[in-house]
Chains A and B, each alone.
Chain A
Amino acid sequence: MRVRVQEAAFDYGAECGAFAARQEGQGAVVTFAGIVRDTAQGDLQAMEIEHYPGMTERALARIAEEAQTRWGLGDVLVIHRHGRLAPGEVIMMVATAAPHRASAFAAAEFLMDYLKSRAPFWKREITARGADWVAARDEDEAALGRW
């Protein structure tokens, strides 16, 4: 299990390839990437991501450990960036490895649902109109109920 919180960009393809290459004994790998999405008006200049150093790493490790235990994963990887990102950049990724695909898919969805609303990150959209904190969505909180 690995959890990384970093400002620097990472190579999503290389991370996925390296993750899959070390899963001898597992039958399935699922990967997900979150991307900086433009605004509805198409005028996003940057997305700034603030986080709580210390708590962030602990929260991500706890969520990853729970996924690993619950779905008997062979391995988990979580990488989440902070700082200033441009539209289209990769914000974060998760990868799960399990004997069969159902566990790998379910664990990846669980990880995403939890790190959206239980890991201490806050996004702010920067446009010519100003800087706006992204509001948490009720659907994201409700999504936790299914686990």
Chain B
Amino acid sequence: MDVLYFAWVRERIGLPKERVETEAATVADLVEELRAREERYAMAFADLSALRVAVDQELADFDAPLAGVREVAFFPPMTGG
């Protein structure tokens, strides 16, 4: 699936988008896999209360299932308007 990062999450991880091959069942499982990769991921995902997630471009919870999902995005709380 494609994993996208926005705002300071993108800056901490150092890229806007990447292809991830995963068997993770939920968003939380995917976060655990990413955290285990490298320090920059561990730092970006250190505090999940400061993060929001979208699954296939819809806001979701961290326990959302990933079966059949094409795109997951991580970002800080939004500041539109």
| Residues of B close to A115: CB separation below 8 A | 80-81
| Residues of B close to A124: CB separation below 8 A | 7
Provide the bound-state CA to CA distance between A55 and B76, in Å: 15
| Residues of B close to A123: CB separation below 8 A | 79
| Residues of B close to A54: CB separation below 8 A | 57
In this complex, the member of B54, B58, B77 whose beta carbon has the largest number of chain A beta carbons within 10 angstroms is B77
Interface range, B side:
10 to 19
B27 at interface by CB-CB < 8 Å = no
B66 at interface by CB-CB < 8 Å = no
A52 touches B80 (CB 8 A): no
A122 touches B78 (CB 8 A): yes
Interface range, A side:
20 to 34
Which residue of the partner chain, among B57, B58, B78, contacts A136 with CB atoms under 8 Å?
A: B78
Residue of B nearest to A92 (CB): B81
B57 touches A117 (CB 8 A): no
B54 touches A55 (CB 8 A): yes
A43 at interface by CB-CB < 8 Å = no
